[in-house]
Structure formats: structure tokens, C-alpha cells
């Protein structure tokens, strides 16, 4: 570990998340949810647990982890759903420079004499993020609010993959297409819009349809959902690609699913925009998310959801994590087990009704 890595290594997941919360107002809305979601897709506590496990493969099996959970295999791409991804090369270079020059400097904020130690240390972390984000923004002549989120992600990536891997990554950026080609303000506006239901749309009830964007950087990265339908059901109807060939977890559609009853954690998704158009989190979904380890606060419309439970009443933008698992109890503690409900829920009935309606239309 170089000195900068040792400095970053002092911060636990709580410190990172608290620092991120404090910095949220300085992050442009286009990347505000995206940055919070990324930090949940790559939780530091889970990384440290696996890193120190005597038998990592056994721990991975115990947590039923499937998919690509290793950040070191996706240094340049894990954040491709952020607007700030386009600045990644410059962010990565600036962080690498900072890490190399850090050995001759102390942190940019010295400890203040009045507060407690943790607050001072967190201020140092926040200041590193802000200073690096500012240097990149100045260099690229863009607003700093667009570089704060991707810089925080860059520093966490360095923490988890180590300096050598970080520096040696190519820094490749995926060119923006689709919605991501628009300005940050236009993207925020587009996410808020709902599909037009036609001239007599106000008369429509159950046959309203909404667009779910699962890849904002591709024109084709979307599918349709019936009003009040769970997101996973709409995803399963989109058979435009061979999803299974792209991800072994995707037996039904672009969103991996298994149980469809909030029991397995396979279908978790991040909500980039339109969280307010989804059903409130029910008690069971909330409790299960804690058991799985998908760590977030208690907002009624949070930025992480189970796609088999969240029903939409408008268009939404989502991001699908590259892996899933069940690790909350071991990693975070403080979760209570709950009884699983019978599989025959009203959600299952709705799925059936919609499937029959779609069949009879053909
Ligand atoms: S498919 Fe199992 S929790 Fe959603």
C-alpha cells in the first residue's frame, strides 16, 4: 500500500456513505442517484469481508453470490451508467497523480482542534474528493457538479482494487449514445417525462403503458410495462435479444429473476430516475433488502428496489447490477428473518392476467 492507499484505507463503509451524503447537494441531479447506487453495488464492507476470508470461494458460495461482483474486473466500466463516466480517463489520471504525490504531503485538510477525530477524518476524505473533482472540472472546463460523483467512485475503486491495478487500467470510456448524448439537464427532464397515451389517453385505465429504460446509453435499451405492473414482468416479455447468452442469470429477460416473491434477491435494480412513480416499498420488500445486504435508508421510494415487487405508474430509468447475493445478516447484522409469504400473491395474479391479455392480443 502506498501512503494514499493507507489514507483511504482508514475509512469504513459508514464514513464513505456519510461523506457521500454530505456531498450529495454538490452532485448534479443527473448523477445523484447513480452515485449512491454505485456505492451499494460495490459495498466496501462486503469487499473487506471477502478479502480477509480464509476461504473466499466458500464465502462466495455461502452468500449465494452470482455474476460479476469483482470491481477489479470492471475498473473502467462499472460506472458506465453515470453521466460522469465520460470523464473517467481524466478522473483516473488525476487520482493516480494525487496518489503518487501524496507521499510527500499530508492530507489537504489538517485535523481541526475542536471536533472529534472521526469528523475530522471524514472532512479529509470529503476534501480529497472535492479537490480532485475540481481539478478535473477545471481541466475539462465543465461544471464541478458533474465530476464529484465519478471522483468519489474513482477513489473507492482505488481502495478496492489497489494502486497498481487502478493505474494500469486503460481508462477506456464508452462513448455516450441514446439519452446519454443529451445535456445533463435534458436527461433529468426526459427521466421525469411519462409516455404519451395518445389523444384519449386520459380515458385509459389498465391499458396504459410506460417505458422502462434499463440502458440510457443505447437507443434500444428499453422495454414497455403495463400500468401498475411489476418491472420484472415487463422485462420478461422483451425477448428482443438472447439475454441468457449475455448473462447466465438472465433466464427470463434482461433483469435476472428467480423466485419472483422477494425471497432470493436476484432481481435488485437501481432507480436512476422516476423512483417517485413506483409503488411504495412494502414491509416485506424492505426487510428482505436488509437480509440480502442491499444497504439503503428507509425512504418510501428508495433508489434500490426489487424488480419483482416494484410496480410502475409512470416511465422510469433503471440500472441492473452485474451480480446478486444474500449477505446482509453476516456483513451488516441487525436484520430479522421474516416468514416467506405463499407464492400466490396478488402480484402473481396480475402477471397471469397480463400474460393472458397479451396472448389474446396476438
Ligand atoms: S426474483 Fe427473487 S427477489 Fe425478485
Count of beta carbons in the 10 Å neighbourhood of residue 202: 7
Q: Which helix (H) or strand (E) holds 94?
A: helix 88-101
Q: How high is the mean pLDDT of the chain? A: 88
Beta bridge partners of 222: 213
Band (207; pLDDT cuts 50, 70, 90): confident
Inform me whether the pLDDT recorded for 345 exceeds 50. no
Band (85; pLDDT cuts 50, 70, 90): very high
**Do both 153 and 13 map to the same domain?**
yes
Q: What was the pLDDT predicted at 257? A: 95
d(CA 236, CA 315): 17
pTM of the complete model beyond 0.85:
yes
Name the least confident of 9-13, 197-201, 357-361: 357-361
How far, in Å, is the centroid of ligand 1 from the Cα of 149?
29
In a domain, residue 243? The reply is: yes
How far, in Å, is the centroid of ligand 1 from the Cα of 266?
5
Yes or no: say if 248 and 220 are a contact pair by the CB < 8 Å rule: no
Q: What was the pLDDT predicted at 344? A: 40
In a domain, residue 296? The reply is: yes
Atom 3 in ligand 1: which residue has the minimum CA distance?
A: 262
Average pLDDT over residues 153-171: 97
Q: What was the pLDDT predicted at 156? A: 98
How far, in Å, is the centroid of ligand 1 from the Cα of 344?
14
Top pLDDT among 298 and 98 is at 98
Inform me whether the pLDDT recorded for 354 exceeds 60. no
- Residue 269 in contact with ligand 1 by CB distance below 6 A: no
Beta bridge partners of 230: 311
In a domain, residue 179? The reply is: no
The closest of 44, 5, 120 to 332, measured between CA atoms, is: 44
Average pLDDT over residues 188-205: 77
Q: Which domain holds residue 349?
A: 184-361
The CB-side HSE value for 348 (13 A sphere, CA atoms) comes to 9
**Do both 46 and 126 map to the same domain?**
yes
**Do both 146 and 239 map to the same domain?**
no
In a domain, residue 222? The reply is: yes
**Do both 233 and 307 map to the same domain?**
yes
- Residue 231 in contact with ligand 1 by CB distance below 6 A: no
Yes or no: say if 179 and 213 are a contact pair by the CB < 8 Å rule: yes
**Do both 190 and 170 map to the same domain?**
no
Amino acid at each position: 500500500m502506498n501512503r494514499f492507499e493507507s489514507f483511504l484505507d482508514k475509512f469504513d463503509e459508514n464514513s464513505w456513505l456519510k461523506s457521500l451524503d454530505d456531498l450529495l447537494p454538490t452532485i448534479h441531479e443527473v448523477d445523484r442517484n447513480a452515485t449512491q447506487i454505485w456505492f451499494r453495488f460495490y459495498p466496501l464492507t462486503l469487499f473487506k469481508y471477502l478479502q480477509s476470508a480464509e476461504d473466499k470461494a466458500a464465502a462466495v458460495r455461502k452468500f449465494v453470490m452470482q455474476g460479476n461482483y469483482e470491481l477489479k474486473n470492471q475498473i473502467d466500466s462499472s460506472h458506465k451508467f453515470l453521466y460522469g463516466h465520460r470523464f473517467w480517463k481524466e478522473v483516473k489520471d488525476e487520482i493516480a497523480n494525487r496518489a503518487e504525490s501524496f507521499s510527500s504531503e499530508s492530507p489537504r485538510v489538517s485535523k481541526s482542534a475542536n471536533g472529534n477525530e472521526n469528523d475530522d477524518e471524514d472532512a479529509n476524505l470529503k476534501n480529497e474528493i472535492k479537490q480532485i473533482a475540481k481539478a478535473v472540472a477545471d481541466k475539462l472546463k465543465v461544471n464541478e457538479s458533474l465530476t464529484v460523483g465519478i471522483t468519489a467512485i474513482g477513489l473507492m475503486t482505488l481502495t478496492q482494487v489497489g494502486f497498481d491495478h487502478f493505474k494500469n487500467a486503460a481508462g477506456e470510456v464508452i462513448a455516450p449514445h441514446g439519452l446519454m448524448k443529451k445535456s445533463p439537464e435534458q436527461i433529468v427532464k426526459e427521466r421525469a417525462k411519462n409516455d404519451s397515451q395518445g389523444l384519449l389517453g386520459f380515458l385509459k385505465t389498465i391499458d396504459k403503458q410506460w417505458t422502462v429504460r434499463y440502458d440510457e446509453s443505447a437507443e434500444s435499451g428499453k422495454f414497455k410495462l403495463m400500468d401498475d405492473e411489476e418491472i420484472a414482468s415487463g422485462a420478461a416479455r422483451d425477448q428482443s435479444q438472447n439475454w441468457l447468452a449475455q448473462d447466465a442469470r438472465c433466464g427470463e429477460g434482461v433483469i435476472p429473476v428467480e423466485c419472483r416473491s422477494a425471497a432470493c434477491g436476484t432481481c435488485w435494480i437501481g432507480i436512476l430516475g422516476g423512483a417517485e412513480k413506483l409503488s411504495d416499498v412494502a414491509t416485506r420488500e424492505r426487510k428482505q433488502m436488509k437480509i440480502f445486504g442491499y444497504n439503503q435508508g428507509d425512504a418510501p421510494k428508495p433508489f434500490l428496489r426489487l424488480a419483482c415487487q416494484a410496480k410502475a405508474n409512470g416511465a422510469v430509468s433503471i440500472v441492473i447490477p452485474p451480480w446478486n447475493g444474500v449477505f446482509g445478516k453476516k456483513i451488516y447484522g441487525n436484520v430479522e428473518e421474516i416468514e416467506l409469504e405463499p407464492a400466490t400473491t396478488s402480484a402473481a395474479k396480475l402477471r397471469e392476467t397480463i400474460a393472458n391479455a397479451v396472448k389474446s392480443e396476438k
